[in-house]
């Protein structure tokens, strides 16, 4: 299972979480990665943890003030990027352009979407993976795998119908190893989570708990 920890803009110690994730990754068969804010990519990557960007824009080098260039996040040490996170929505044409920009620089891509119909559209753009996240469950601590298992199974089917090479992650409310196992049982190949680790009193213990049953 892929455990992708998005630090959003939570006031956590990104380097400490990254070091914990690096150590937990080394102790399990699970793949653990961290997505810090763009300004923290380099410091996080220096810990040796698999580092992801939270977003890239559909742009090239040029006059794009305030945008995030795929080449810049790759230079900072990111190996992958989220695109179209629920908190950073893009128009469909811009999702397509962002996937293209990421692929141009060799970044792995996870395109986020709200529901199975959108997952099908996202999968058609040719990312490495898609992540289904019902927005109403994000940050609630109520795991999507329990609250809305149909949406996870529907997303797995929708992606497979479009492109069986696109793997499916699920996210929203995932915070325990039991939630990760439930996601796996529903056909997800990974989980995208944030608050369960970034807001934990002990992020390393939270990470250990997530991968313990795997």
Ligand X SMILES: O=C[C@H](O)COP(=O)(O)O
Name the binding residues. 6-8, 138, 173, 194-195
209 near ligand X, rule: CB under 6 A: no
Of 19, 50, 55, 85, the active-site residue reads: 85
# of chain residues touching ligand X (CB under 6 A): 15
194 sits near ligand X (criterion: CB under 6 A):
yes
DSSP codes, 3-38: EEEE-TT-SS-HHHHHHHHHHHHHTSSSEEEEE--G
CB neighbourhood size of 213 (10 A):
13
Stretch that binds ligand X, among 24-32, 120-128, 165-173, 177-185 (CB under 6 A): 165-173
> Applying CB under 6 A, does 12 fall inside the site for ligand X?
no
Q: Which two tokens stand for residue 118?
A: 């959108």
Query: Do residues 101 and 63 lie in contact, with contact meaning Cβ atoms separated by under 8 Å?
Result: no
- Residue 136 annotated as catalytic: no
Q: Which of 19, 50, 55, 133 is catalytic?
A: 133
The reply on whether position 192 binds ligand X by CB under 6 A is: yes
**146 — phi, psi (to 5°)?**
-100, -45
Q: Which residue has the tokens 């807001």?
A: 199
Q: Does 203 bind ligand X (CB under 6 A)?
A: no
The whole-angstrom separation of Cα 130 and Cα 121 is 10
Q: Taking the complex as a whole, how short is the minimal distance between the CB of residue 63 and ligand X, in angstroms?
A: 30
Catalytic residues: 85, 133
Where do contacts with ligand X occur on this chain (CB under 6 A)? 6, 85-86, 133, 138-139, 171-174, 192-196
């Amino acid at each position: 299972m892929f455990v992708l920890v998005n630090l959003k803009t939570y006031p956590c110690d990104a380097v400490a979480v990254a070091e914990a994730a690096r150590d937990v990754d080394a102790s399990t068969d699970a793949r653990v990665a961290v997505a810090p804010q763009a300004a923290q990519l380099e410091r996080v990557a220096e810990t040796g943890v698999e580092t992801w960007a939270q977003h890239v824009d559909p742009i090239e080098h040029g006059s794009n003030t305030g945008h995030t260039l795929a080449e810049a996040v790759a230079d900072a040490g990111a190996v992958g990027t989220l695109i179209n996170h629920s908190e950073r929505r893009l128009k469909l044409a811009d999702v397509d352009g962002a996937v293209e920009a990421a692929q141009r620089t060799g970044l792995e891509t996870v395109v986020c979407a709200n529901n199975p119909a959108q997952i099908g559209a996202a999968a058609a753009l040719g990312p490495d993976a898609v992540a289904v996240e019902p927005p109403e469950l994000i940050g609630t601590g109520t795991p999507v795998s329990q609250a809305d298992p149909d949406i996870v199974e529907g997303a797995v089917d929708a992606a497979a119908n479009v492109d069986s090479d696109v793997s499916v992650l699920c996210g929203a409310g995932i915070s325990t190893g039991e939630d990760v196992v439930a996601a796996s049982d529903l056909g997800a190949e990974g989980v995208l989570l944030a608050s369960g680790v970034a807001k934990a009193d002990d992020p390393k213990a939270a990470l250990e708990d997530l991968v313990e049953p795997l």
